[in-house]
Amino acid sequence: MRYSVIGCGRWGTFIAWYLSSIGHEVTLYGRESSWHMKRLMDSRANDYLTLPDKVNLSTRMEDAPEADAVFISVGAQQFRDLCRTLRAYGLKDRPAVLCMKGLEIGTGCRLSQVAAQELDPSVHAAVWLGPGHVQDFVRGIPNCMVIDSDDEPTKRTLTAALSGGLIRFYLGGDMIGNETGAAAKNVIGIAAGVLDGMGLSSLKGALMARGAHEIARLIGRLGGKEISAYGLCHLGDYEATVFSPHSHNRRFGEAFVTGTPFTGLAEGYYTAKAIVDLGRQVDTELPICEAVYASLYEHVDVRESIDALFRRTTKREF
């Protein structure tokens, strides 16, 4: 197959590397002004991997829709503008595979909803979600991930085309639950980093149990399956997000509480705002997400946020 990958950051570059490694013809697209793209053009390498010569590099985004499928890995808050650009370039009659996790601030939309609103109706959106870090994959350490789509043939075709020895893909069955859970786990990752930075890592067990429970409740309110919060896209991604030294969101949370500079992208920062707004729209309590939001956006001291969680009225565990 001929595939286009849009987004030349850490994950987009890995996707191009992976798709090429399992035999597909791949072109990786990035903005001419992007320093990530400039570096790849100069050396075909970044901090994580070296692209093989057979992966094409291009800044001509207007050529991307010519591939059999388009894989997208950009910041969630920039996705709507990209969709409008791709529609203007004539993207039709092929899958758009969304390889990022987040919710849109202001609307609370899942990214597949943004795609449905902005792309041509003939484009079937799919999502590629689940645990795994580039640093592990390029060392040959395997993991399990999920492909989901509201279009069953698209989902099955992609799963068959993308499976290899490095990644075992599962067929998703709940776009609401998988997208919401995948976005929310980044907020939980920030909370985990805060605990690490405060020397409270022993609370991570409670964070995982209660975090999955509150996100399951939200998924149910949104019309998804609560059990999805316990699958690969949320709870199954906690090891990579809550514990791994590679997790940008965990590292951001730790840096935030210790006052250490952090220059990477932590998508959970934006998702915290979007998910709290979404929870209020559907009248769902999200105490952990709200505590993260209060510290990040309302400048509430993190110790006060944690104390507030402990002072909540007694609840039944289930």
Catalytic residues: 185
Q: What are phi and psi of 98, to 5 degrees?
A: -90, 115
299 torsion bin: left (phi>0), alpha (psi -120 to 50), beta (else): left
Token output for 61: 């985004």
- CB-side neighbour CA atoms (13 Å) of 128: 28
Using CA atoms, how far apart are residues 2 and 27, in angstroms rounded to an integer?
Answer: 8
User: Which DSSP string corresponds to 182-248?
Assistant: HHHHHHHHHHHHHHHHTT-GGGHHHHHHHHHHHHHHHHHHHTS-GGGGGSTTTGGGHIIIII-TT-H
Bridge partners (DSSP) listed for residue 45? 50
C-beta neighbour count of 77 within 10 angstroms: 16
User: Which DSSP string corresponds to 132-153?
Assistant: --HHHHTTT--EEEEEEESSHH
Provide, for the chain, the percentages of residues in helix, strand and coil under a 3-state DSSP scheme, each rounded to the nearest 5: 55, 15, 35
Q: What are phi and psi of 44, to 5 degrees?
A: 60, 20
